[in-house]
Structure 1
Amino acid sequence: MGDEQRPRRPLLQISRIYAEEAAANSPRGREIIDRWPDADLVGVDSHWRIPELHGDERNVRRWVRIKSEALVLGEKKSLTVRPNGRSADFIAPSHSNGCAMACAYCYVPRRKGYSNPITVFTNIERIQAAIARHAAKLGPKTEPNQCDPDRWVYDLGENGDCSADALISDNVRDLVEQFRTLPNAKASFATKFVNRDLLDWDPAGSTRIRFSLMPAETAKLVDIRTSPIPERIAAIADFADAGYEVHLNFSPVIVEPGWLERWAELLDQIAEAVPARVRDRLAGEVIFLTHNEPLHEVNLGWHPRAEELLWRPELQEPKISQNGQTNVRYRWRDKRVYVADFLDLLARRAPWLRVRYAF
Structure 2
Amino acid sequence: MPDLNDPLALDEVTAPHSASGEQVWTHDLSGVAPPPRPGRRWTPKRVVATPPAYDHPHGRRIMALVEAQGIEVERLKSARLTGVRGENDRQTYARAKSTLAIVVSPPSRRRLQPISPSADWRFDLAEGCPAHCQYCYLAGSLSGPPVTRVYADLDDILDGLADYAGRGTVTSRRAARRDEGTTFEASCYTDPLALEHLTGSWRRAVEHFGAWDAPVQLRWTTKFADVGTFTGLPHAGRTRVRFSVNGQPVTTRMEGGTAPLPERLAALRTLALDGYPVGLTIAPIMAIDDWRRHYGALLDAVATAVDGVPGLDLTAELITHRFTPGSKEVLLGWYPRTRIEMDEESRSRKHGKFGAVKYVYPPTVMGELRGWFESEIAARLPACRILYWT
Specify if TM > 0.5. Answer: yes
Asked if the contact 1:215/1:229 (under 8 Å) is kept, the reply is no
Distance 1:331 1:122, change over 3 A: same
Is the counterpart of residue 175 in structure 1 residue 225 in structure 2? no
| 1:59 alignment partner, one of 82, 89, 102 | 89
Is the counterpart of residue 110 in structure 1 residue 140 in structure 2? yes
Once residues 281 and 136 of structure 1 are traced to their aligned partners in structure 2, the CA distance between those partners, rounded to angstroms, is 22
- Please give the residue correspondences for 1:1-359 in structure 2 after superposition, counting only pairs within 5 Å: 11-37=41-67, 38-39=71-72, 41-43=74-76, 45-46=78-79, 50=81, 52-53=83-84, 58-61=88-91, 63=93, 66-67=96-97, 69-76=98-105, 77-78=107-108, 79-92=110-123, 94-113=124-143, 115-135=145-165, 143-182=173-212, 183-196=214-227, 197-277=229-309, 280-306=312-338, 308-322=339-353, 324-359=355-390
Which amino acid counterpart does residue 226 of structure 1 have in structure 2? T
Once residues 85 and 64 of structure 1 are traced to their aligned partners in structure 2, the CA distance between those partners, rounded to angstroms, is 33
How big is the shift at 1:246? 0.3
Residue deviations 1:14-66, cap 9 Å, x none?
332233211134322222223344425151644xx646547x89333563564
Asked if the contact 1:63/1:114 (under 8 Å) is kept, the reply is no
Q: Pairwise CA RMSD of aligned residues?
A: 2.9
Q: SS at 2:344's partner residue? A: coil
Which amino acid counterpart does residue 119 of structure 1 have in structure 2? R
Distance 1:57 1:311, change over 3 A: farther
Asked if the contact 1:60/1:298 (under 8 Å) is kept, the reply is no
Once residues 345 and 9 of structure 1 are traced to their aligned partners in structure 2, the CA distance between those partners, rounded to angstroms, is 30
Once residues 278 and 223 of structure 1 are traced to their aligned partners in structure 2, the CA distance between those partners, rounded to angstroms, is 31
Further displaced range: 223-232 or 279-288: 279-288
Q: Which residue of 1 aligns with 2:32?
A: none
Which amino acid counterpart does residue 205 of structure 2 have in structure 1? L
Once residues 251 and 57 of structure 1 are traced to their aligned partners in structure 2, the CA distance between those partners, rounded to angstroms, is 34
Once residues 267 and 354 of structure 2 are traced to their aligned partners in structure 1, the CA distance between those partners, rounded to angstroms, is 33
Distance 1:73 1:325, change over 3 A: farther
Q: SS at 1:186's partner residue? A: strand
Once residues 179 and 146 of structure 2 are traced to their aligned partners in structure 1, the CA distance between those partners, rounded to angstroms, is 36
Fraction of identical pairs, as percent: 24
Asked if the contact 1:152/1:184 (under 8 Å) is kept, the reply is yes
Further displaced range: 32-41 or 284-293: 32-41
Which amino acid counterpart does residue 88 of structure 1 have in structure 2? A
Q: TM-score normalized by structure 2?
A: 0.80
Once residues 201 and 314 of structure 2 are traced to their aligned partners in structure 1, the CA distance between those partners, rounded to angstroms, is 26
Structure 1: 4+ residue segments shifted above 6 A: none
Q: SS at 1:166's partner residue? A: helix
Which amino acid counterpart does residue 199 of structure 1 have in structure 2? T
Asked if the contact 2:48/2:102 (under 8 Å) is kept, the reply is yes
How big is the shift at 1:186? 0.7
Q: SS at 1:298's partner residue? A: helix
Report the number of matched residues. 349
Q: Greater relative contact order: 1 or 2 (C-alpha under 8 angstroms, separation 6 or more)?
A: 2
Asked if the contact 1:89/1:147 (under 8 Å) is kept, the reply is no
Once residues 23 and 172 of structure 1 are traced to their aligned partners in structure 2, the CA distance between those partners, rounded to angstroms, is 18
Q: SS at 2:197's partner residue? A: coil
Q: Which runs of 5+ in 1 are unaligned?
A: none
Once residues 276 and 269 of structure 1 are traced to their aligned partners in structure 2, the CA distance between those partners, rounded to angstroms, is 14
Once residues 114 and 191 of structure 2 are traced to their aligned partners in structure 1, the CA distance between those partners, rounded to angstroms, is 20
Asked if the contact 1:23/1:122 (under 8 Å) is kept, the reply is yes
